[in-house]
Chains A and B, each alone.
Chain A
Amino acid sequence: MLTLLMDGRDAQAVPARSAGEDLLMPAAGLERATGWALKPEGLCQGAVCVPVPAAKRNDWLRDDAVNLAAFWRHLGRPVLHDERGETWVCGADAEERGQRLRTLEAPDFALPDLSGRVHRLSDFRGQRVFLATWASW
Protein backbone atom coordinates (compact mmCIF):
# COMPACT_ATOMS: atom_id res chain seq x y z
CA MET A 1 0.00 0.00 0.00
CA LEU A 2 1.16 3.50 -0.85
CA THR A 3 -0.07 6.87 0.34
CA LEU A 4 -1.65 9.04 -2.33
CA LEU A 5 -2.26 12.77 -1.88
CA MET A 6 -4.61 13.77 -4.69
CA ASP A 7 -5.47 17.41 -5.14
CA GLY A 8 -8.77 18.10 -3.39
CA ARG A 9 -8.86 14.77 -1.55
CA ASP A 10 -7.68 13.58 1.82
CA ALA A 11 -4.65 11.33 2.02
CA GLN A 12 -5.56 7.78 1.00
CA ALA A 13 -3.90 4.40 1.22
CA VAL A 14 -3.95 2.84 -2.24
CA PRO A 15 -2.93 -0.63 -3.44
CA ALA A 16 -0.45 0.83 -5.91
CA ARG A 17 3.14 0.02 -6.84
CA SER A 18 5.84 2.51 -7.57
CA ALA A 19 8.90 2.06 -9.75
CA GLY A 20 11.14 5.06 -10.26
CA GLU A 21 8.94 7.82 -11.62
CA ASP A 22 6.04 5.48 -12.34
CA LEU A 23 3.03 5.07 -10.08
CA LEU A 24 1.03 2.02 -11.08
CA MET A 25 -2.54 2.00 -9.83
CA PRO A 26 -4.83 -0.99 -10.37
CA ALA A 27 -7.37 0.16 -12.95
CA ALA A 28 -10.18 -1.30 -10.84
CA GLY A 29 -9.78 1.18 -7.97
CA LEU A 30 -8.57 4.11 -10.04
CA GLU A 31 -11.84 6.01 -10.26
CA ARG A 32 -12.59 5.82 -6.55
CA ALA A 33 -9.11 7.04 -5.67
CA THR A 34 -8.65 9.70 -8.34
CA GLY A 35 -11.96 10.47 -10.04
CA TRP A 36 -10.49 9.20 -13.33
CA ALA A 37 -11.59 5.89 -14.85
CA LEU A 38 -10.07 3.75 -17.56
CA LYS A 39 -12.62 3.37 -20.37
CA PRO A 40 -12.45 2.33 -24.03
CA GLU A 41 -12.28 6.06 -24.91
CA GLY A 42 -9.28 6.65 -22.69
CA LEU A 43 -8.94 8.03 -19.18
CA CYS A 44 -12.15 9.77 -18.27
CA GLN A 45 -13.34 12.08 -15.53
CA GLY A 46 -17.06 12.49 -15.94
CA ALA A 47 -17.67 13.53 -19.53
CA VAL A 48 -14.05 14.51 -20.12
CA CYS A 49 -11.93 11.80 -21.75
CA VAL A 50 -8.23 11.91 -22.51
CA PRO A 51 -7.43 9.35 -25.22
CA VAL A 52 -4.39 7.21 -24.56
CA PRO A 53 -1.86 8.22 -27.25
CA ALA A 54 -0.65 5.21 -29.23
CA ALA A 55 2.94 6.11 -28.42
CA LYS A 56 2.19 6.18 -24.70
CA ARG A 57 0.05 3.07 -24.48
CA ASN A 58 2.87 0.91 -23.12
CA ASP A 59 3.87 3.60 -20.65
CA TRP A 60 0.39 4.40 -19.36
CA LEU A 61 -1.16 0.95 -19.33
CA ARG A 62 0.64 -1.96 -17.68
CA ASP A 63 -1.36 -5.17 -17.51
CA ASP A 64 -4.24 -4.27 -15.20
CA ALA A 65 -2.65 -1.06 -13.93
CA VAL A 66 -2.59 2.57 -15.00
CA ASN A 67 0.55 4.66 -14.66
CA LEU A 68 -1.08 7.54 -12.85
CA ALA A 69 2.18 9.52 -12.63
CA ALA A 70 2.76 9.42 -16.40
CA PHE A 71 -0.84 10.40 -17.05
CA TRP A 72 -0.71 13.25 -14.55
CA ARG A 73 2.52 14.61 -16.04
CA HIS A 74 0.92 14.40 -19.48
CA LEU A 75 -1.84 16.69 -18.17
CA GLY A 76 0.85 19.18 -17.12
CA ARG A 77 0.13 18.68 -13.45
CA PRO A 78 2.67 18.26 -10.65
CA VAL A 79 3.69 14.79 -9.50
CA LEU A 80 6.11 14.35 -6.62
CA HIS A 81 7.06 11.50 -4.34
CA ASP A 82 9.27 10.84 -1.37
CA GLU A 83 12.62 9.07 -1.70
CA ARG A 84 11.23 5.63 -1.10
CA GLY A 85 8.32 6.11 -3.46
CA GLU A 86 5.87 5.40 -0.64
CA THR A 87 4.07 8.73 -0.62
CA TRP A 88 2.95 10.44 -3.80
CA VAL A 89 1.28 13.75 -4.44
CA CYS A 90 -0.71 14.52 -7.58
CA GLY A 91 -1.22 18.26 -7.58
CA ALA A 92 -3.54 20.75 -9.19
CA ASP A 93 -3.77 21.98 -12.74
CA ALA A 94 -2.70 25.61 -12.49
CA GLU A 95 -4.53 26.65 -15.62
CA GLU A 96 -7.77 25.00 -14.54
CA ARG A 97 -7.47 26.59 -11.12
CA GLY A 98 -6.88 30.01 -12.66
CA GLN A 99 -9.81 29.64 -15.02
CA ARG A 100 -12.06 28.74 -12.11
CA LEU A 101 -10.93 31.77 -10.15
CA ARG A 102 -11.78 33.96 -13.12
CA THR A 103 -15.37 32.72 -13.01
CA LEU A 104 -15.46 34.30 -9.51
CA GLU A 105 -17.09 31.18 -8.12
CA ALA A 106 -15.52 30.78 -4.69
CA PRO A 107 -13.56 27.51 -4.55
CA ASP A 108 -15.06 25.26 -1.90
CA PHE A 109 -13.01 23.77 0.91
CA ALA A 110 -13.53 21.93 4.18
CA LEU A 111 -11.25 22.43 7.16
CA PRO A 112 -11.38 21.53 10.85
CA ASP A 113 -11.51 23.91 13.78
CA LEU A 114 -9.41 23.30 16.89
CA SER A 115 -11.92 20.81 18.24
CA GLY A 116 -11.73 18.81 15.02
CA ARG A 117 -15.16 19.79 13.77
CA VAL A 118 -15.08 20.23 9.99
CA HIS A 119 -16.61 23.33 8.43
CA ARG A 120 -17.30 23.61 4.73
CA LEU A 121 -17.47 26.93 2.91
CA SER A 122 -20.47 25.88 0.82
CA ASP A 123 -22.46 25.27 4.02
CA PHE A 124 -22.55 29.07 4.38
CA ARG A 125 -24.42 29.55 1.10
CA GLY A 126 -27.17 32.12 1.62
CA GLN A 127 -24.96 34.26 3.81
CA ARG A 128 -22.37 36.83 2.90
CA VAL A 129 -19.02 35.40 3.95
CA PHE A 130 -16.01 37.36 5.02
CA LEU A 131 -13.22 34.83 4.61
CA ALA A 132 -10.06 35.93 6.39
CA THR A 133 -6.71 34.22 6.64
CA TRP A 134 -4.14 34.79 9.33
CA ALA A 135 -1.27 32.88 10.93
CA SER A 136 0.48 32.60 14.27
CA TRP A 137 3.86 33.06 12.66
Chain B
Amino acid sequence: MLEAVRSEPFAVIAVAMDSRPDAARPWIEKAAPTYPCLIDRDHRVADLYHMVNVPQAVWIDEAGRIVRPPEPAGAFEGFRSRDPVTGVVPEAIAATTAAAKRTYVEAVQDWARRGAASPHALHPVRARAHVTLPTEAHAQAHAAFRLGQHLIRAGNPAEGDRFLEMASRLHPESWNLWRQRAEVDHRGLAAKADFWERVQALGSKRYYAPVDLPGMPK
Protein backbone atom coordinates (compact mmCIF):
# COMPACT_ATOMS: atom_id res chain seq x y z
CA MET B 1 0.00 0.00 0.00
CA LEU B 2 2.83 2.35 0.90
CA GLU B 3 4.94 1.85 -2.22
CA ALA B 4 2.43 3.70 -4.37
CA VAL B 5 2.42 6.82 -2.21
CA ARG B 6 5.88 7.01 -0.76
CA SER B 7 6.56 10.54 -1.98
CA GLU B 8 3.35 11.99 -0.54
CA PRO B 9 3.04 13.71 2.84
CA PHE B 10 1.43 10.54 4.11
CA ALA B 11 2.22 8.37 7.11
CA VAL B 12 0.93 5.08 8.43
CA ILE B 13 0.84 4.48 12.16
CA ALA B 14 0.00 0.97 13.27
CA VAL B 15 -1.12 0.42 16.84
CA ALA B 16 -1.28 -3.05 18.36
CA MET B 17 -3.96 -3.45 21.03
CA ASP B 18 -1.76 -5.88 22.86
CA SER B 19 -1.23 -6.03 26.58
CA ARG B 20 1.56 -8.53 25.97
CA PRO B 21 4.08 -6.93 23.60
CA ASP B 22 5.75 -10.30 23.08
CA ALA B 23 2.57 -11.55 21.43
CA ALA B 24 2.71 -8.72 18.90
CA ARG B 25 6.48 -8.93 18.34
CA PRO B 26 6.62 -11.88 15.89
CA TRP B 27 3.91 -10.34 13.70
CA ILE B 28 5.74 -7.03 13.55
CA GLU B 29 9.13 -8.59 12.92
CA LYS B 30 7.71 -10.72 10.13
CA ALA B 31 6.08 -7.71 8.45
CA ALA B 32 9.33 -5.69 8.84
CA PRO B 33 7.38 -2.47 8.39
CA THR B 34 8.87 0.89 7.44
CA TYR B 35 6.24 2.75 9.48
CA PRO B 36 5.92 2.98 13.28
CA CYS B 37 4.31 -0.03 14.94
CA LEU B 38 3.22 1.03 18.39
CA ILE B 39 2.24 -1.17 21.29
CA ASP B 40 -0.81 -0.13 23.25
CA ARG B 41 -0.84 -2.32 26.34
CA ASP B 42 -3.66 -0.39 28.01
CA HIS B 43 -5.78 0.01 24.84
CA ARG B 44 -5.45 3.75 25.18
CA VAL B 45 -6.21 4.42 21.53
CA ALA B 46 -9.39 2.31 21.69
CA ASP B 47 -10.37 4.31 24.77
CA LEU B 48 -9.64 7.73 23.20
CA TYR B 49 -11.26 6.99 19.85
CA HIS B 50 -14.03 4.76 21.21
CA MET B 51 -13.09 1.67 19.22
CA VAL B 52 -14.56 -1.71 20.06
CA ASN B 53 -12.76 -4.00 17.65
CA VAL B 54 -9.75 -4.53 15.43
CA PRO B 55 -8.92 -3.69 12.77
CA GLN B 56 -10.02 -0.09 12.99
CA ALA B 57 -8.71 2.76 10.89
CA VAL B 58 -8.93 6.52 11.30
CA TRP B 59 -7.94 9.03 8.64
CA ILE B 60 -6.39 12.18 10.05
CA ASP B 61 -5.56 15.12 7.81
CA GLU B 62 -2.50 17.40 7.83
CA ALA B 63 -4.15 19.70 10.41
CA GLY B 64 -4.88 16.85 12.81
CA ARG B 65 -8.56 16.63 11.93
CA ILE B 66 -10.39 13.36 11.54
CA VAL B 67 -11.69 12.97 7.99
CA ARG B 68 -12.81 9.39 8.49
CA PRO B 69 -13.73 8.36 12.04
CA PRO B 70 -12.95 4.83 13.24
CA GLU B 71 -14.14 2.18 10.82
CA PRO B 72 -13.16 -1.46 10.25
CA ALA B 73 -10.86 -0.52 7.34
CA GLY B 74 -11.11 -3.15 4.61
CA ALA B 75 -12.31 -5.86 6.98
CA PHE B 76 -15.47 -7.73 6.09
CA GLU B 77 -16.96 -10.36 8.30
CA GLY B 78 -16.70 -13.19 5.79
CA PHE B 79 -15.22 -15.36 8.51
CA ARG B 80 -18.71 -15.67 10.00
CA SER B 81 -19.75 -17.78 7.00
CA ARG B 82 -16.95 -20.30 7.43
CA ASP B 83 -17.70 -23.99 7.62
CA PRO B 84 -17.39 -24.78 11.34
CA VAL B 85 -15.57 -28.05 10.63
CA THR B 86 -13.30 -27.27 7.69
CA GLY B 87 -13.00 -23.53 8.34
CA VAL B 88 -13.52 -22.89 4.64
CA VAL B 89 -15.34 -19.69 3.67
CA PRO B 90 -17.70 -20.02 0.66
CA GLU B 91 -16.07 -18.79 -2.53
CA ALA B 92 -18.47 -15.91 -3.20
CA ILE B 93 -18.03 -14.56 0.33
CA ALA B 94 -14.26 -14.97 0.17
CA ALA B 95 -14.36 -12.95 -3.05
CA THR B 96 -16.44 -10.23 -1.37
CA THR B 97 -13.95 -10.12 1.50
CA ALA B 98 -10.99 -9.79 -0.87
CA ALA B 99 -12.77 -7.12 -2.92
CA ALA B 100 -13.58 -5.12 0.23
CA LYS B 101 -9.93 -5.06 1.20
CA ARG B 102 -8.83 -4.02 -2.30
CA THR B 103 -11.46 -1.30 -2.52
CA TYR B 104 -10.47 0.12 0.83
CA VAL B 105 -6.73 0.09 0.09
CA GLU B 106 -7.38 1.92 -3.19
CA ALA B 107 -9.39 4.54 -1.32
CA VAL B 108 -6.54 5.06 1.15
CA GLN B 109 -4.07 5.42 -1.71
CA ASP B 110 -6.32 7.95 -3.43
CA TRP B 111 -6.51 10.03 -0.28
CA ALA B 112 -2.77 9.69 0.29
CA ARG B 113 -2.16 11.20 -3.14
CA ARG B 114 -4.92 13.79 -3.30
CA GLY B 115 -5.70 14.69 0.29
CA ALA B 116 -8.81 16.82 0.71
CA ALA B 117 -9.55 16.50 -3.03
CA SER B 118 -10.18 12.78 -2.57
CA PRO B 119 -13.90 11.97 -2.44
CA HIS B 120 -13.12 9.53 0.36
CA ALA B 121 -12.10 12.28 2.77
CA LEU B 122 -15.46 12.96 4.34
CA HIS B 123 -16.99 16.39 4.76
CA PRO B 124 -17.06 17.27 8.49
CA VAL B 125 -20.85 16.93 8.66
CA ARG B 126 -20.70 13.45 7.22
CA ALA B 127 -17.63 12.51 9.25
CA ARG B 128 -19.34 13.67 12.44
CA ALA B 129 -22.35 11.52 11.64
CA HIS B 130 -20.07 8.49 11.88
CA VAL B 131 -18.66 9.37 15.29
CA THR B 132 -19.99 7.12 18.03
CA LEU B 133 -19.93 8.47 21.55
CA PRO B 134 -18.69 6.69 24.66
CA THR B 135 -20.94 6.37 27.71
CA GLU B 136 -20.05 6.54 31.39
CA ALA B 137 -20.00 2.74 31.48
CA HIS B 138 -17.42 2.74 28.68
CA ALA B 139 -15.24 5.20 30.60
CA GLN B 140 -15.54 3.00 33.68
CA ALA B 141 -14.65 -0.04 31.59
CA HIS B 142 -11.45 1.55 30.33
CA ALA B 143 -10.53 2.72 33.82
CA ALA B 144 -11.02 -0.84 35.10
CA PHE B 145 -9.00 -2.23 32.19
CA ARG B 146 -6.12 0.13 32.88
CA LEU B 147 -6.13 -0.73 36.57
CA GLY B 148 -6.29 -4.43 35.76
CA GLN B 149 -3.36 -4.26 33.36
CA HIS B 150 -1.35 -2.25 35.86
CA LEU B 151 -1.98 -4.80 38.62
CA ILE B 152 -1.02 -7.67 36.30
CA ARG B 153 2.24 -5.96 35.39
CA ALA B 154 2.87 -5.23 39.07
CA GLY B 155 2.73 -8.97 39.79
CA ASN B 156 -0.86 -9.32 40.92
CA PRO B 157 -2.49 -11.28 38.08
CA ALA B 158 -5.50 -12.64 39.98
CA GLU B 159 -6.73 -9.28 41.16
CA GLY B 160 -5.80 -7.65 37.86
CA ASP B 161 -7.86 -10.17 35.96
CA ARG B 162 -10.91 -9.37 38.05
CA PHE B 163 -10.71 -5.79 36.79
CA LEU B 164 -10.31 -6.98 33.20
CA GLU B 165 -13.43 -9.08 33.69
CA MET B 166 -15.21 -6.05 35.13
CA ALA B 167 -14.10 -3.98 32.12
CA SER B 168 -15.58 -6.44 29.66
CA ARG B 169 -18.81 -6.65 31.67
CA LEU B 170 -19.14 -2.85 31.67
CA HIS B 171 -18.47 -2.63 27.93
CA PRO B 172 -19.89 -5.85 26.47
CA GLU B 173 -19.83 -4.58 22.89
CA SER B 174 -16.05 -4.25 23.02
CA TRP B 175 -14.43 -7.20 21.34
CA ASN B 176 -11.05 -5.68 22.21
CA LEU B 177 -11.66 -5.89 25.95
CA TRP B 178 -13.19 -9.35 25.70
CA ARG B 179 -10.63 -10.92 23.36
CA GLN B 180 -7.63 -9.47 25.16
CA ARG B 181 -8.70 -11.49 28.19
CA ALA B 182 -9.94 -14.59 26.35
CA GLU B 183 -7.93 -17.79 26.05
CA VAL B 184 -6.04 -18.11 22.79
CA ASP B 185 -5.71 -21.15 20.54
CA HIS B 186 -2.51 -22.71 19.18
CA ARG B 187 -2.19 -19.82 16.71
CA GLY B 188 -2.40 -17.23 19.48
CA LEU B 189 -5.89 -16.22 18.40
CA ALA B 190 -8.75 -15.65 20.81
CA ALA B 191 -10.92 -17.80 18.58
CA LYS B 192 -11.86 -20.76 20.75
CA ALA B 193 -15.40 -22.03 21.21
CA ASP B 194 -16.33 -19.13 23.51
CA PHE B 195 -15.43 -16.64 20.77
CA TRP B 196 -17.61 -18.39 18.19
CA GLU B 197 -20.47 -18.56 20.67
CA ARG B 198 -20.16 -14.84 21.20
CA VAL B 199 -20.10 -14.21 17.45
CA GLN B 200 -23.13 -16.47 17.02
CA ALA B 201 -24.97 -14.47 19.68
CA LEU B 202 -24.68 -11.37 17.48
CA GLY B 203 -27.40 -12.84 15.29
CA SER B 204 -28.15 -10.33 12.57
CA LYS B 205 -25.95 -7.67 14.20
CA ARG B 206 -22.67 -6.90 12.50
CA TYR B 207 -19.28 -7.88 13.85
CA TYR B 208 -17.70 -5.18 11.70
CA ALA B 209 -19.82 -2.10 11.04
CA PRO B 210 -20.35 -1.39 7.32
CA VAL B 211 -17.87 1.11 5.86
CA ASP B 212 -19.38 4.20 4.19
CA LEU B 213 -17.37 4.01 0.99
CA PRO B 214 -18.50 3.25 -2.56
CA GLY B 215 -17.95 -0.40 -3.46
CA MET B 216 -17.75 -1.69 0.11
CA PRO B 217 -20.13 -4.52 1.07
CA LYS B 218 -23.31 -3.33 2.78
- One of A91, A126, A133 near B54 (C-beta < 8 A): A133
Taken together as a complex, chains A and B put the C-alpha atoms of A113 and B139 apart, in Å, by: 25
Q: In the complex where A94-B135, A113-B36 touch, is A106 in contact with B65 (Cβ < 8 A)?
A: yes
Q: In the complex where A80-B147, A122-B64 touch, is A133 in contact with B45 (Cβ < 8 A)?
A: yes
User: Chain A nearest CB: distance from B5 CB in Å?
Assistant: 9
Q: In the complex where A82-B159, A135-B180 touch, is A128 in contact with B189 (Cβ < 8 A)?
A: no
| Interface assignment of B134: CB less than 8 Å from any CB of chain A | yes
Whether A97 contacts B139 by the Cβ 8 Å rule is yes
| Interface assignment of B25: CB less than 8 Å from any CB of chain A | yes
| Interface assignment of A105: CB less than 8 Å from any CB of chain B | yes
Whether B143 contacts A92 by the Cβ 8 Å rule is yes
| Interface assignment of B55: CB less than 8 Å from any CB of chain A | yes
- One of A94, A121, A124 near B138 (C-beta < 8 A): A94
User: Chain A nearest CB: distance from B198 CB in Å?
Assistant: 14
A: number of interface residues (CB 8 Å) = 50
Q: A101-B50, A111-B44 are in contact. List 8 more A-B contacts (CB 8 A).
A: A87-B151, A98-B50, A124-B60, A129-B13, A131-B58, A133-B57, A134-B15, A137-B182
Scoring A111, A113, A124 by chain B CB atoms within 10 A of each residue's CB, the highest score goes to A111
Whether B62 contacts A125 by the Cβ 8 Å rule is yes
User: Chain B nearest CB: distance from A34 CB in Å?
Assistant: 15
| Interface assignment of B202: CB less than 8 Å from any CB of chain A | no
| Interface assignment of B100: CB less than 8 Å from any CB of chain A | no
Whether B138 contacts A134 by the Cβ 8 Å rule is no
**A contacts with B: majority SS:** mixed
Taken together as a complex, chains A and B put the C-alpha atoms of A5 and B125 apart, in Å, by: 35
Whether A93 contacts B150 by the Cβ 8 Å rule is no
Whether A124 contacts B63 by the Cβ 8 Å rule is no
Q: Which 7 A-B pairs have the closest CB atoms?
A: A91-B143, A98-B133, A111-B38, A78-B143, A94-B139, A136-B23, A107-B48
- One of B11, B140, B147 near A87 (C-beta < 8 A): B147
Which residues of chain B come closer than 8 Å to A62, judged between CB atoms?
none
A-B contact pairs, 6 of them (CB 8 A): A7-B143, A83-B159, A89-B146, A113-B36, A133-B14, A135-B18
Whether A134 contacts B55 by the Cβ 8 Å rule is yes
A94 — nearest CB in chain B belongs to which residue? B139
| Interface assignment of B211: CB less than 8 Å from any CB of chain A | no
| Interface assignment of B56: CB less than 8 Å from any CB of chain A | yes
Taken together as a complex, chains A and B put the C-alpha atoms of A5 and B142 apart, in Å, by: 12
Q: In the complex where A89-B147, A94-B134, A98-B133 touch, is A132 in contact with B180 (Cβ < 8 A)?
A: no
Q: In the complex where A130-B108, A133-B15 touch, is A109 in contact with B44 (Cβ < 8 A)?
A: yes
Taken together as a complex, chains A and B put the C-alpha atoms of A97 and B46 apart, in Å, by: 12
Q: In the complex where A106-B60, A137-B179 touch, is A128 in contact with B115 (Cβ < 8 A)?
A: yes
Whether B108 contacts A102 by the Cβ 8 Å rule is no
Q: Mark A62-80, 1 if CB is under 8 A from B, else 0.
A: 0000000000000011111
